[in-house]
Each structure stands twice: as structure tokens, then as C-alpha cells.
Chain A
Amino acid sequence: MSTTAVKQEGPATVASAPTIGSHVRGYFRRVRGGDIGALPAVAGLLVLCTIFSIMRPSFLTAGNFANLFTQGAAVTLIAMGLVFVLLLGEIDLSAGFASGVCAAVLANVITVLGHPWYVAVLAAVLTGLVIGTSLGLLVAKVGIPSFVVTLAGFLAFQGVVLLLMEEGRNISVRDPVLVAIANRNLPPTLGWALAALAVAGFAAVQLLRYRKRAARGLINDPLAMVLARIGVLAVVLGVAVYVLNLERSRNVLISSLKGVPIVVPIIAVLLVIWTFVLQRTSYGRHIYAVGGNKEAARRAGINVDRIRISVFVICSTMAAVGGIVAASRANSVDPNTGGSNVLLYAVGAAVIGGTSLFGGKGRVLDAVLGGAVVAVIDNGMGLMGYSPGVKYVVTGVVLLLAASVDALSRRRAAATGNR
């Protein structure tokens, strides 16, 4: 039997080991090919911070830096959950008011019913679980488009918040533990210790992986690249903790105000957990697969419906966490908690960070980077004294801009056959 002979040139599957140079070239090639990742978020952050610092010197103070974290925390947490839904190419428009419902449950349980804080937190998170399961079942099992299901949820949850608030009264949250989440800071030494722990942990994971791959003779990133990553994290965390540990109080004699806001390590821990789930477990791998090619995932034996339900559960549960933080920051819950621009900010944060609205592409870190951009815009424009009207318009424009970047980079990627 004659076979078709083909000349195949080039070395074996294993190409030459990459160098730093090839890494940098590869990065620029990817960016040109439409795979821009977090570039718009990082660039936007630098540009915005520069502009605001020049126009309002008060922007660049330790006090305002700390404010950014507490202001952006709730939106960032909701956006982290939204990343999961967006990875499947679905949307959850109800996430904002779902956080409102959970916050209302929290306030009712702790203030009206008088239970301890952990019962209230548990009740809020359970509420999120129930909301997410219902949304997921309606989308995956009944087959209603997620846009419609969550738009209905958006309206209904708004009503539920009103009902839980007894027609519009707000409920205050006075529990010291809950209030501390967004209003208190870690002792400076603990801040340093946690930062050191984070860097050490990251370094251990990175170096261990490097050694494991080297032992198997697999292609590895150059060691310098690995060390550079660890170094960048150490510098970023070091600077952040240093600035946050500066004295922010106007009058030290009355009260001292310094340290990392408690909400920062909460976000960091959730970021690590969800990143681990998405990148290092088969469940996470299956989420990407369903987002990339649902039919391929089904044929590979993945239970697509279960994945679709689970992302809505994660999204609504993270919305509950966001609602708790929002309630903590405001010391109260009112009918507008989780309303107005919270959802748009959260979707914007995920998309600005580089998560695609078309599914299959995104990271939890995107939500944090995008959340920082949104917080800077909100904070900076507040300092400049713009009216809420201008703020809304600008936020809408930024969201459109991010979505355009997403769509255009996707088109460019299709044209260059790159992702």
C-alpha cells in the first residue's frame, strides 16, 4: 500500500527553550494579534491616576489611596463573580440587586431579629446561593436566555429589597465585626506580615512549578522571568502596604488612622481561591471549555448544564459577599443598596480588566484590575466635583469603550487566527 510521503521539516515537538527576549517578542506579537489581556486596564489605571493627580493633588494622598480600596471593594467582589458568568458568554444583570437583597437579609437578621453577625453573614450568603441556583436552573434547564432571566431578576430583586425594607426605611448595621470589614484597618505589623506571606506563598508556588517542570524536561519559562514575576508582586505589595501604613489621620492626637483596610485581605483571599479554581482544577478547565465550544465540551463528557448552573451560583454568592461589604461600608442598608450604578460598574470592571463578553476568555484578576479602574474614575471625578449626571455619562462611556476594545480585539484575533 502506497503512502503519501510528505517532507516535514523543523525540529521535534519540543522547540528550543524560550528566553526572556522571546517572551517579550511573543507578548508583543500577541498584543498585535488582538490578545491584549489586561493591557487596557493597566494603561488606563496609569493614565487616569496621572491625570487626577495633576488636576487634584488630594487624589495622591495616603488617605485617598485607602479610600479607593473601600470604595471599590463591593463592586470588585461582584465583578469577580460576574467573571464566571461572562466566561460562559452569559450575563447576570441581576447581580447588583442580588447583592442588595442579600444585604437586606443581613440587616434584617442582625438588626431586626438580633442574631449575631455570623448568623447574619451565613443568611446573606445562603440567600445568594438560592438566588444563583434559581437563575442557573432557569437558564440551563428551562432554556431562557440569561439576559432575560436576569433582567427579570433585576426588576424583581429591586422589589424584594423594598419589601424587606418595609417600603423604604433603611436599616442600620451597628455590629462591630461587620462595620469593621470596610471601616477598620489591620495593625501595620499584621499588614506587613500578610504581604510577606503572600509574596512567600507566590514564590513557593512559582518555584515549585519551575522545578517540577524542569525535572520532567518540559519547556520552562526562563528562571529570570519567574523571579521577575515574584519581584514585581513583592514591589507592588510592598509599596501598597507602606503607603497604607502611613498615618492618615488629620489629627493624630485625637485618633490614629493607619494600616491596610480589612477588606483588602478579604479580596486577596477570594482572588487566590477563585484563581485556583479556574486555573488549577478540572472544574475551572471545564468552564473555559464550555465558554469556548459548548458542543465540544458536551462531547468530551462534560455536564454542560451543571457548569452553567454553577457559574450563576458563584456569581450570586459573590454578589452576596459584595452586599455584605457594601452594608458594612455604609453602616446601613437602604433600598438603593446594590442599585443605581453598582451592576454597570461591576460588568464594566470585569470587561475593562480584559474578560470577554463573548465568553471563553477572562481571569478573576481582571475583576480586580478593572475594579481599580472603576474606583479611580469614581473617586477622581468625585474629587473634581462633577455632578452625578456627569459621573453616570462617563461611566457609561467607559463601559462602552471597554466593550468596543473587547469586540475589536476579538475581530483582530479572528483575522490573525490568534485566539
Chain B
Amino acid sequence: MSATPLLELRGIDKSFGPVQVLRDVALSAYPGEVTALVGDNGAGKSTLVKCISGIYPTDAGKFLFDGRPVSINSPRDAASLGIEVVYQDLALCDNLDIVQNMFLGREKRSGIVLDEPTMEQMAAETLAGLSVRTVKSLRQHVSSLSGGQRQTVAIAKAVLWNSKVVILDEPTAALGVAQTAQVLELVRRLADSGLAVVLISHNMNDVFAVSDRIAALYLGQMVAQVKTTDITHAQIVELITAGRTGTLGLTADTGGNGNGSAPAGPQHRGGMA
């Protein structure tokens, strides 16, 4: 781990009433890398994302952004740091066109009049910067786009604002094979352009195709964060389903009754890296 992480979480706890959803979670996202966040249903992936994006307040733990401690108490805080989240349900308006969607809520204006030429130009530049060539016209309604194109627009919307960290929640869940490949290529390009990308996915093929690191959540605990090249498909599946594999994850003695015990500490993060 040479570089400092752009976004680092330490000891994040989060409970909803009596249910502890996140337990001492640590996560690092490095610039120029795709960090895959994997875990079974209910492992706490979405909760973790909502904590990062400021939708949920955390009970304990701290955020480091570029090495500095920061507090994220609202989506506005996250956005001002440069953290953008692309949600699973995309949050696009079908009745607006691509440019209108990308600038929704942050329209460029000259006086009180919308500055359409500037917005259209910026949108075109952003899409061109992401090497997106599949969109016919920037002025077509989002409803006429395919699933992959909609995902592309949602991602382009997230990177339009000089964001530094982009979190993608299951971006390929509803896509076909070709469109999945397109979106994954786009994800890779985001990282290559220097952003820290956090990719949440259920699909191991996607994870191994684009990620540099994999972070595995198991029942609200971060059981491992390792380099993708240092781990196999089968080991990840084991981490997701059992919380440990070989020397990784919850240690054997605590792993047996893992829920109540101290979680995997920093010694496990990075693992064999």
C-alpha cells in the first residue's frame, strides 16, 4: 500500500435500534483504483454507502479524506468533498433529456435564464472524456435510452462535478452482457483518469474484471480488503458466505462465534498484499 487512500473509513459502527448493521468497519479507496465492495444480501453494503454519502449518520468511527479527518453529516457534505454516489435505481427523470438530467438541481444559468449552450457543451465534453460514443444525441429523452446508456448518463452525471470518489451501487445488476461490458469499461476508465471508484457488485465476474482491490463485508464486519490479484474467485465466495478463508477473514478461534467477537482488525486488511 504505497499511496495514501483518498477516502479512508476507520471503526465505523452503525445500529438501527437494537440491530447492529455495521461493526467496526474499515474501508480504504485509493485514487486510480477500483475498490470492489462485496458481501451477501444484508451484509451492510448499502448501509455503508449511505453512511459514506451522508444519508445515515454513523454511531462511531471516523472518515479520513486525503489523510485529513472530515465529518460527513449530510449528502451536501459528501458532495462538497467530491463524493458522488450512483444509486441502483439511477435517479434519472425519464421526461428530461440527457443534458437536463446531468445538470438537474445544479443548472448553469446566466441571470435567471438557463444557459443551455454551456450545459450542453459541458455534458458533451464530459461524455467525450469518458469516451462514450453510444449516445446518439444529447437532447434525446432519457426514456429512449437503453439500460446501459442510462447507467452511462448516471455515471457521467456523477463525474461532471470534478468528483474525486465515485461510488457505484450495483451498476450492472439490470444489464445485458454487452451493456455490462460497456459499463465496466467505463468504470475502469473512471479509475484510470485518477478517481477513486468504489464498486458494489454481486457479480464476481464483474469484480474480477475491473477491480484492483476487493473489500468483503460479512454480517456487518469488514473481513478482508485485499488486492484482486492476490485472491481467487473461490476464496472471495468463501469470504462472502462464511466470513473467512484460509488465513483471511475472521480468525478461526473467533470465527466460530464470529458475530459476538471482536471483528477482524487491521491485521487482516491488506492481507497478503
Interface residues of A (CB under 8 A from B): 1-6, 8-15, 212-213, 216, 218-219, 280-282, 285-286, 288-289, 291-293, 295-297, 299-302, 360-361, 413, 417-419
CB-based nearest A residue for B154: A296
- Which one of B37-45, B108-116, B214-222, B255-263 is at the interface? B108-116
Q: List B residues 182-212 near A (Cβ within 8 Å).
A: 182, 184-185, 188, 209-212
| Other A-B pairs, 20, CB within 8 Å; known A4-B210, A285-B100, A299-B87 | A1-B210, A1-B228, A8-B134, A8-B182, A12-B128, A13-B124, A13-B133, A13-B138, A216-B121, A218-B121, A281-B114, A282-B107, A288-B95, A292-B93, A296-B104, A297-B93, A301-B76, A301-B105, A419-B95, A419-B144
Interface centre among B87, B95, B185, B210 (most CB of A within 10 A): B95
Top 9 nearest A-B pairs by Cβ distance? Answer: A300-B105, A292-B93, A292-B95, A360-B95, A296-B91, A301-B105, A300-B104, A282-B107, A3-B188
Find the residue from B93, B121, B134 having the highest chain A CB count within 10 A: B93
Residues of B within 8 A of A (CB): 75-76, 87, 89-96, 100, 104-107, 109, 112-114, 117, 120-121, 124, 127-128, 131-139, 141, 143-144, 178, 181-182, 184-185, 188, 209-212, 228-229
Contact B113 A13 (CB under 8 A): no
Q: How many A-B residue pairs have CB under 8 A?
A: 124
Min C-beta distance of A263 to chain B, whole Å: 28
Whole-angstrom CA separation of A4 from B175 in the bound complex = 15
Residues of B within 8 A of A288 (CB): 93, 95-96, 100
Q: Which residue of B lies closest to A296 (CB)?
A: B91
Let me know if A293 and B141 touch, CB within 8 A: no
In the assembled complex, the Cα of A297 lies from the Cα of B96 at a distance in Å of 11
Given known A13-B124, A13-B135, A296-B104, contact A4–B209 (CB-CB < 8 A): yes
Is A218 within 8 A of B92, CB to CB?
no
Known: A8-B133, A10-B133, A13-B138. A419 touches B210 (CB 8 A): no
The distance from the CB of A295 to the nearest CB of chain B, in whole angstroms, is: 6
With a CB–CB cut-off of 8 A, which chain A residues contact B228?
A: 1
Pairwise interchain contact A216-B104, C-beta atoms closer than 8 A: no
Give complex CA distance A212, B117 in Å. Answer: 8
Q: Which residues of A contact B211 (CB under 8 A)?
A: 1
CB distance from A285 to the nearest CB of B (A): 6
Chain B nearest CB, measured from A16 CB (Å): 10
CA distance A13 to B126 in the complex (A): 10
With A218-B121, A282-B109 as contacts: A3 and B185 at CB distance below 8 Å? yes
Residue contact B94 to A360, C-beta cutoff 8 Å: yes
A selection of 10 A-B contacts at a CB cut-off of 8 Å is A4-B181, A6-B178, A13-B132, A15-B137, A212-B117, A282-B114, A288-B96, A300-B106, A361-B95, A419-B94
Cα distance A276–B221 in the bound complex, in angstroms: 53
**Cβ-closest chain B residue relative to A295:** B91
List the A side residues contacting B75 at CB < 8 Å: 299, 301
Taking CB atoms, residues of chain A closer than 8 Å to B184 are 3-4
Q: Is the CB of A280 within 8 A of B113?
A: yes
- Is B114 within 8 A of A213, CB to CB? no
Give B213 Cβ to nearest chain A Cβ, in Å.
10
Contacts of B113 in A (CB 8 A): 280-281
Q: Which residues of B contact A6 (CB under 8 A)?
A: 178, 181-182, 185
Q: How far is B105's CA from A300's CA once the two chains are assembled, in angstroms?
A: 5
* A5 to B89 Cα, complex, angstroms: 26
A71 to B181, CA, bound (A): 60
Within 8 Å by CB of B117, from A11, A216, A297, lies A216
Q: How far is the CA of A301 from the CA of B157 in the complex (A)?
A: 14
A204–chain B nearest beta-carbon distance, Å:
14
A293 to chain B: which residues have CB within 8 Å?
Answer: 91-94
Interchain CB contact under 8 A, A4 and B188: yes
Chain A residues, Cβ within 8 Å of B181? 4, 6
CB <8 Å contact, B134 and A4: no
- Are A299 and B91 interface neighbours, CB within 8 A? yes
Q: Is the CB of B137 within 8 A of A219?
A: yes
Complex CA gap A295/B90 in Å reads 10
Q: In the complex, which residue of chain B has the Cβ closest to the Cβ of A213? A: B117
Residues of chain A within 8 A of B143, CB atoms compared: 413, 417-419
In the complex, chain B residues whose CB is within 8 Å of the CB of A419: 94-95, 141, 143-144
The distance from the CB of B28 to the nearest CB of chain A, in whole angstroms, is 17
Chain A residue contacts of B95, Cβ below 8 A = 288, 291-292, 360-361, 419
| Cβ–Cβ < 8 Å partners of A4 in chain B | 181, 184-185, 188, 209-210
Residue of B104, B124, B178, B188 with highest tally of chain A CB at under 10 A: B104
Inter-chain CA distance A125–B157, complex, in Å, is 41
Chain A residue with Cβ nearest B107:
A282
The answer to whether B144 touches A418 (Cβ under 8 A) is: yes
When C-beta atoms are compared, the residue in chain B nearest to A356 turns out to be: B95
List residues of chain B with CB within 8 A of the CB of A280.
113-114
In the bound complex, what is the Cα–Cα distance between A299 and B78 (angstroms)?
13
Q: How far is the CA of A326 from the CA of B139 in the complex (A)?
A: 41
Most chain B C-beta atoms within 10 Å of own C-beta, residue among A3, A9, A218, A299: A3
Complex CA distance for A13 and B178, rounded to whole angstroms: 19
B212–A1 CB distance below 8 A: yes
A13→B128 contact, CB < 8 A: yes
Q: How far is the CA of A296 from the CA of B90 in the complex (A)?
A: 8
